[in-house]
Chain A
Amino acid sequence: MSDDLDGDDQSGRDPVSFGSSTPPAEWAMAGVGALLAIVLVTVLVVVGLTTRREPPGFELRVTEVSVVDADTSLVRVDVSNVGGAPAEAVLVEGHRTDDPGPPSRAEVDHLSAGSMASVGLFFTGPRPEPDDLDLRVVGFRHP
């Protein structure tokens, strides 16, 4: 990667000229670039050809229940997209099975196929056990 205006002329040194041949070190860098391109394209093609053409599907799992104050608990829920397509605005809703009141809601902006995100839901009353909760995904948007 020579350039002809690098100031070497002013310092008395001979200007660098590589002629028409690329230095071996640059060929090594070019090899790395070619390898990156091959790996990138291969991964994308394999993923593109093997990804199932299914709609998004969701699994919910309570990972943590913590008491915030005397009357409020925070339930952390992992939301996994086990389907074959991404989803946006995934709306997660949960309510206590012993409480007919309004549900708690949280939204995940984007959930790619095979990915996972965590949301937090607040519940009032005594500390709930995971079995006391009815959790579900009530809707999403196709990207």
Chain B
Amino acid sequence: MGSDQAQAHELGRGAARAGAGALLLGLPLVMTMEMWELGVVLPPLRLAGLVLLSLPVLVVLVRYLGFRDGKGLGLADHVADALVAFGIGVATSLAAMLVVGVLDGGRTVRELAGLVAIQSVPASMGAAIARSHFVAGTGGDQRQLGGYRYELLLMAVGCALLAFSVAPTAEVVLLAGRVGALQGALVAVASMAGLHAIVYSLGFRGQHRSDAPFWSVFLGYTVVGYVITLAVCLALLWTFGQTDGAGVRLVLVEAVVLAVPGSFGAGAARLVL
């Protein structure tokens, strides 16, 4: 096989892999009713901001978790990978929405753009991290990159992966309305305990190994990881309009509620990415 043929072959495989990653993350959201409504209801400028913000996030994702071996690649290469991931995210989102009937001839241009924008962001994230999902044995070299910062990035990505499909649902707001201050604090403590247990205590394959004292690990990873989880959850809630018109207390409780699945995603990130 010549070099050009090999490159074309690998490019095709990579694109297929990225498409599978996009579907893995995007398909559940394509089939979520709230996402159909949010795509046409959310202010267009907020959706434009979401798309613009997703592009540098994609560059970071492909840098550490992307569908190419990160060794020897520069920023331009990562930008290229991120743009490919975005394009594949848009294409798979469009195809999935057409197949399940979310898109039809009656949609206006504004609705079409809104739906593509809100659905393509998680799909392109899935495409960007497809290598970690679908290529057996990769990541060993990449996980040495960045050390502590890389661990925190993994947590943020794992949180986003799990919380993305819950954040747009009405249930988050309904549950937050039922949770009082004390119950909210207990939920937060339980989430942190779960996060710590999954990554550092349970005997899962791929779990973190550290000789550092318990409190060092707890403060440096679990507490910081939970703060990152809350930040990601707040960003998702704002993106999906779940904080619009809500008071500070309700917004915080919404974040704590969403951080229940989010913290498990953050904890499990090292196991599944």
Which A residues form the contact surface with B (CB < 8 A)?
1-6, 13, 16, 18-23, 25-27, 29-34, 36-37, 40-41, 43-45, 47-49, 51, 86, 110, 112-117, 143
Q: Does B110 contact A (CB under 8 A)?
A: yes
A82 to B14 alpha-carbon distance, docked (Å):
46
**Beyond A25-B7, A32-B87, A36-B86, 13 additional pairs, beta carbon < 8 A:** A1-B18, A3-B69, A29-B15, A36-B90, A37-B51, A41-B51, A44-B114, A49-B45, A86-B40, A110-B40, A112-B110, A115-B107, A115-B108
For the A-B complex, the count of residue pairs with Cβ-Cβ distances under 8 Å equals: 146
Closest residue of chain A to B47 (Cβ to Cβ) is: A44
A34 to B55 alpha-carbon distance, docked (Å):
10
Question: Do A33 and B11 form a contact, CB below 8 Å, given A20-B73, A113-B110, A143-B41?
Answer: no
A33 to B59 alpha-carbon distance, docked (Å):
13
A86 to B15 alpha-carbon distance, docked (Å):
37
How many residues on chain B are close to A (CB under 8 Å)? 57
Could you tell me if B80 and A22 are in contact, using CB atoms closer than 8 angstroms?
A: yes
Could you tell me if A40 and B90 are in contact, using CB atoms closer than 8 angstroms?
A: yes
A11 to B141 alpha-carbon distance, docked (Å):
23
Could you tell me if A45 and B44 are in contact, using CB atoms closer than 8 angstroms?
A: yes
Chain B contact residues: over half helix, strand or loop, or mixed?
Answer: helix
Q: Shortest Cβ distance from A137 into chain B, in angstroms?
A: 19
Q: Which residues of A contact B10 (CB under 8 A)?
A: 1-3, 6, 16, 18
Could you tell me if B7 and A16 are in contact, using CB atoms closer than 8 angstroms?
A: yes
Q: Mark B126-139, 1 if CB is under 8 A from A, else 0.
A: 00000100011110
Q: Which residues of B contact A22 (CB under 8 A)?
A: 73, 76-77, 80-81
Could you tell me if A5 and B138 are in contact, using CB atoms closer than 8 angstroms?
A: yes
Q: Does B109 contact A (CB under 8 A)?
A: yes
Could you tell me if A19 and B106 are in contact, using CB atoms closer than 8 angstroms?
A: no
Which of A4, A21, A41 is most buried by chain B, counting CB atoms within 10 A of its CB? A41
User: Which residues B37-96 have CB closer than 8 A to chain A?
Assistant: 37, 40-41, 43-45, 47-48, 51-52, 55, 67-69, 72-74, 76-77, 79-88, 90
